Amino acid sequence: MPDIALQRSGLSRERRDALLGLLLIAPTVLVLGAVIVYPLLSAIALSFQSVYTPTLEGHWVGLANYRELLGSGGFWAALLTTAIWTVGTLTLQVLIGVAMALLLHQNIIFRSLARSLVLFPYFLSTVVAVLVWRWLFNDLYGIVNHALMAAGIIDAPVNWLGAMPNAMLSIMVVGAWKFFPFVVIAVLARLQTIPEALYEAARIDGAGPISRFFDVTLPQLRDVLTIVILLRTVWDFKEFDLIYLMTGGGPVNGTRTLPLIVYQQAFGLNQMGMAAAYAVSMMLVMLVFMLAYLQRARKAAA
Amino acid sequence: MKKRPAWIVSLITWPIVLVIAFPLLWMLITSVKPAAELFSTSPTLLPKAITFEHYARVLQDTPFLQYFANSMILATSTTVVVISISVLGAYSLVRFAYPGRETLASLVLFTYLLPSVVLISPLYLMLVSIGLANTLASLVIAYTTFALPYALWLLRSFMAGIPQDLESAAMVDGASRMGAFVDVVLPQALPGIISTALFTFILAWNEYLYALVLVNSDEARPLTTGVMTMLISAFNIEWSLLMAASVLMSVPLIIIFAFFQRHLTSGFGAGGVKG
Amino acid sequence: MVQVVFEKVSKAYGDTVAIPGLDLTIESGEFVSLLGPSGCGKSTTLRMLAGLEQPSSGSIRIGDRDVVNLAPAARDIAMVFQSYALYPHMTVAENICYPLKKRGVAKADRAIKLAEVAALLQLEPLLARKPGQLSGGQQQRVALGRALVREPSVFLLDEPLSNLDASLRAHMRAELIELHRRLGKTMVYVTHDQLEAMTMSSRIAVMRAGELQQFAPPDEIYNRPANVFVAGFIGTPAMALAEGSLADGGGHLVVHVGPLAVALPYAAAARPAAVTVGIRPEDVLVGEGPWQAQVRLVEPTGYETIVALDAGGLALTARVPGSNALRVGETVAFDLRRERIHLFDKSDGRRWEPAGR
C-alpha cells in the first residue's frame, strides 16, 4: 500500500499524509485535465481560428469570429431565445416542482407510487421523452389535439411544433415535464427536515395554512430554492438534446438556442472555429449570470 | 407526521400525478396498439386490441439489439471507470489536507456546470487525432467529462457524512490510512457508492449529444442516437416502432427506478443540491 | 509499564494557539484525568498522544520512544472514543477482533482473546449483534473490550461516559476503577465531569485554555487548589470567591473580605497586598458564630440543604445537614473554619499560603 511506503520515507507525518491525499486525487486531476481542461483551452484557442470540419484544416483569424458573431443578428437572437426558453421552463419547473413537493409531503394514499410516477420523467432518456411528446403533439394523430378538439377548446388541429409561439411553448412544457422532478426531490427532502414544532408554534400563534406556508415553510425553503434555481438555470440554459430533438431549432430558428447554434456551426455549416466562438461567448454569458446570482444570493443571506 | 391519510389532498394530488404520468402511460399503450388503431383520426384511449408486433419488429428487423448491447457496455464501462476514480478522489477531498484542495473542489463544481457543447468540437478533434473516432471507447472518454464531476460531488457529500471517529478508531486499532479506508470508509459509503453508480449509469445510458457527434457507425452506436436514426427518415416516422423502442430503451431505467428509488433520491439530499 | 511524557508540546491551528506549551509526566500505571471546561485543550492533548493530531512542536514519549512521527497504529496504545466509534457494519465479535486482525494474530488466538475479553465485560450474549442493536451501555463495554483485547501499554479514554445516563455512568465509573486496579496499566482519561476525575484518578491534570493549571492527586486538588480557577472549578457547590485584603492584626494575619474581618492563626509576615478569598460551603458553619447573614435561597437535597447566604454583600454558600427549617429572608449567625480559608494572590491568581500553614 502506498501509505506504508511513505511511512518509511522519513518525511514528517503531515507531509506523508498530504502526499497520500495528492496521490488519491491524482487520477481525478489527470482525467479531468485531459477531458475537460485541455478541451476547454482548445475550445478557446479554436475560437480564434477558422476550421473546416470535414478536413479539420484551419488557420488563425484572430478576433474575426467574435466580430462576426457579435455583428450578426444570429447570436443576439439566439441569446434572446435561450433566455426566453430558460426563464419560461424554469418558472414552470419551480412552480410545479414546489407545488408537487408540498402535495407529496402530505400523507396521501399510495404515496410512494405517486412519488415514483412523478419523479420518473427526470430519469428517462431525453430521446424517449421527446419521442413521446412529439407523438402527443402530432398534428394528425396526436392525442393532445384530439382531446382539445373533443373538449371543444379548439376547432382544428394545432401545429404544436411547426409554428411560433407554439413551438417555444411546447418545448417549455416538455422541459418542465422532464426536469421539474429535480425540484421536487430537493424541496421534498428539505420539507422533511422542517421541525413539526415550528408549525405547531405558528398554529398556536393563530396562523392559518396560507400564512403558515409563507411564514414558516417558504423561509425554510429559501436556501434549497436558491441552489435549485441556480442549478436548473444553468442546466436549462445549456440544454441541447431536448430542443434539438423536439424542434431542431425551428420553425425558422424560432427555438434556436445558443447550444443549437454551436452544434449547427460545427457540424451543419462545418465551421468549427466559429462554433467555438459561439460556445465561448455562451460560457461567458453563463459565467456572468452565475457570479451575479451568487453575489445577490450572498447579500440576501447576510 | 399525521397518521390519517389525507383524503382531500389525495383527491387533488392524484389527478395531477396521472396527468404527469400520462405521456408515459400513453407511450405504453401506443406501443401495443395495432397500426390501424394508431393512425385513425379518432384515436382511442385504451387499445381495442393488444399486439406485440411492434416489439417483435423492433427486436428482429432493426439493429436495436446491437444498439442495446452498445449502450450496456458503454454505461457499465463508464460507471466502473468513473466510480473507481471518484471514490479515491472524493476521499482525498474530504479527509486530507494539502495545498490547493479547496481550489480543486471549486474546479470540480465549475466543471459540473460546464456546457457539453463547448467541449464537443475540441473533444472530437482530440479523439480523431488519437485514432479513437467512432468507437465505444471514445464515448466512454467523453462521458467521463460530465459523469466524473457529478460522481465526485455526490461521493464527497456521502463520505463527509461518515464520522471521522471511525477511521480514527481503525488507525488506533492498527490499520494504516488506506487500511482504514478499505475496512471502514468503503463499507460505510456503500449506499452512497451505489447511488452514485446508478446515477452515473443512467446519465451514460441517456446521453445523446456526444453520441451524436462522436459516433456514426452502427457498430458503436448506442440506443439514444440509434433509435433516432433508424426510425426517422425524411419520408416516414415509424411511430409504432418508435414507441415500442422507447419502452424497451427505458427498461433498465424502470428496473433501476423500481428497486433503487431510495438510493437515487438520497443522492439529491446528500449532494446533488448542496452548493 | 510505561511512562508518558509530554515535553514542551504546543499546538497551533494557523494563527490560533490552542496549546502554548505543555509539560506533563504521567508515571507508569497511573490513572490520570485531563479535566477542564470545553475548549481547554484536553481532547487535543489526548489526540496528540494518540497520533490523531500532530503537535506543532515538542516531543511526546511513550516509554522510551518519541512517538511524534509514529502512526497511531505503531504507538502501542488503545483508545475509547466518546462516540464509541464501533464499526457499524461489523458484529461485536468482529469489532473486538479487529485490532488483533490488524496485527496479524492467528484466528485461533483471536478467538481465545475474544473469549477472555467477552467474559471480563459480560459481552458473551452480544457477540453476534451489530452495534446498532446495542444500548449505550453495551456499546460502551464493547468499545472497552476492543481497547482491552490488544493489551496495549497505555489506554486513552475520551469522555467515554458522557453519553450515558446518570445511573449507568455511576456503574461504569466503578467498573473502570476496578479495571484499572486489576490491570495496573497507564490510563489517560479526558473528562469535563469533576466527579469522574475525582473518584477515578490517581492524579488530575486541570487544564484551561490550553494551559496546565495543576497536576496533583484529587485531595490536593480539592484541599489545596493551585489557583483561583482550579479552586472555583472543583467542588460542587462551587467555592465562594470574593475580593479581600490581608492586614496585620497585632502579629497575626487578619483577612478582610466583604464586611468581615477574619483573624487567622498565622503570622502576619510577608503577604500579598490584595487577595482573592475562597471559602467552601462545608466550611461555613450556620447556627452559631460571630457574624450574621441573610438567607437568600434554600435548596434541600434530601441529605442536606444548600443555603445561599448574603453576609452584608458577601455571597456565601453553606451546607447545612438535614432538611431544616431555614427560610428565605431569615437572618442567621454563622462562623467559618478559619484554617480552611483559601487565599489567592490577586495579582496572578496563584495560591498563597502563610508561613506556618
Report pLDDT digits (tens) over B120-158: 888 888 888 888 888 889 999 999 888 999 899 889 989
The CATH architecture one would assign to domain C240-345 is: Beta Barrel (2.40)
User: Both B94 and B190 in a single domain?
Assistant: yes
Q: C158, C79 in Cβ contact below 8 A? A: yes
Cβ-defined contact of A123 to B178 (cutoff 8 Å) = no
Every domain of chain C with CATH number 2.40.50.140 lies at: 240-345
Q: In terms of Cα–Cα distance, which of C163, C175, C155 is closest to C85?
A: C163
Q: Cell numbers 467512432 correspond to what residue?
A: B134
Cα–Cα distance measured from residue C232 to residue C254, given in angstroms and rounded to the nearest whole number: 23
Is C175 strand, coil or helix? Answer: helix
Is A271 strand, coil or helix? Answer: strand
> DSSP strand E in chain B: where?
none
Cβ-defined contact of B173 to C146 (cutoff 8 Å) = yes
User: Both B27 and B69 in a single domain?
Assistant: no
CATH number of the domain where residue B186 is located? 1.10.3720.10
Is omega for the bond preceding C131 within 30 degrees of 0, making it cis? no
Cα–Cα distance measured from residue B243 to residue B237, given in angstroms and rounded to the nearest whole number: 11
User: Which class for C157: exposed (0-12), middle (13-18), buried (19 or more C-beta within 10 A)?
Assistant: buried
The angle subtended at Cα A75 by Cα A72 and Cα A81, nearest 5°, is: 135
Report pLDDT for A242: 94
User: Both B139 and B215 in a single domain?
Assistant: yes
pLDDT at B272 over 70: no
pLDDT grade for B267, boundaries at 50, 70 and 90 = low
> DSSP strand E in chain C: where?
4-13, 16-26, 31-35, 57-62, 65-66, 77-80, 154-158, 186-191, 203-208, 211-216, 240-249, 252-257, 260-267, 274-279, 284-300, 304-311, 314-321, 331-336, 342-345
Cα–Cα distance measured from residue A156 to residue A170, given in angstroms and rounded to the nearest whole number: 17
Cα–Cα distance measured from residue C301 to residue C284, given in angstroms and rounded to the nearest whole number: 17
Please indicate whether residue A172 or residue A294 has the higher confidence score (pLDDT). Answer: A172
Q: Does C152 touch chain B (CB under 8 A)?
A: no
pLDDT at A108 over 70: yes
Interface test with C, best of A1, A7, A20 (most C CBs within 10 A): A7
pLDDT grade for C356, boundaries at 50, 70 and 90 = low
State the cell numbers at C42.
Answer: 484536553
pLDDT grade for B257, boundaries at 50, 70 and 90 = confident
Is A82 strand, coil or helix? Answer: helix
User: Both B32 and B75 in a single domain?
Assistant: no
Q: Cell numbers 510505561 correspond to what residue?
A: C2
CATH superfamily of C4-232: P-loop containing nucleotide triphosphate hydrolases (3.40.50.300)
Report pLDDT for B270: 46
Partners of residue A101 in chain B, C-beta under 8 Å: none
Cα–Cα distance measured from residue A245 to residue C289, given in angstroms and rounded to the nearest whole number: 98
pTM of the model: 0.85
Quote the number of domains for chain B.
2
Percent residues over pLDDT 70 in chain C? 99
Every domain of chain C with CATH number 3.40.50.300 lies at: 4-232
Partners of residue A143 in chain B, C-beta under 8 Å: 26, 43
Q: Does C54 touch chain A (CB under 8 A)?
A: yes
Report pLDDT digits (tens) over B227-249: 888 766 656 677 888 888 899 99
**Domain carrying residue B34:** 1-51
Partners of residue A235 in chain B, C-beta under 8 Å: 113
Complex-level ipTM: 0.86
Cβ-defined contact of C87 to B168 (cutoff 8 Å) = no
Partners of residue B188 in chain C, C-beta under 8 Å: 88-89
* pLDDT, chain C, mean: 91
Contacts of A165 (CB under 8 A, 6+ apart): A254
Name all domains of chain A by residue range, CATH numbers in brackets.
72-270 (1.10.3720.10)
User: Both B205 and B70 in a single domain?
Assistant: yes
Residue B256 CA, chain-centre distance (Å), reads 10
Contacts of B273 (CB under 8 A, 6+ apart): A186, A189, A224, A227, A228, A231
* pLDDT, chain A, mean: 87
Cα–Cα distance measured from residue A269 to residue B35, given in angstroms and rounded to the nearest whole number: 38
Q: C315, C309 in Cβ contact below 8 A? A: yes
User: Both B128 and B226 in a single domain?
Assistant: yes
Q: Does A196 touch chain C (CB under 8 A)?
A: no
Cα–Cα distance measured from residue A294 to residue C311, given in angstroms and rounded to the nearest whole number: 61
User: Both B43 and B124 in a single domain?
Assistant: no
Of C52, C71, C83, the CB nearest to B163: C83
> DSSP strand E in A35-148: where?
49-52, 57-60
User: Both B106 and B148 in a single domain?
Assistant: yes
Q: How far is A22 from chain C (nearest CA, A)?
A: 19
Cα–Cα distance measured from residue C110 to residue A276, given in angstroms and rounded to the nearest whole number: 65
Q: C205, C27 in Cβ contact below 8 A? A: no
Percent residues over pLDDT 90 in chain A? 34
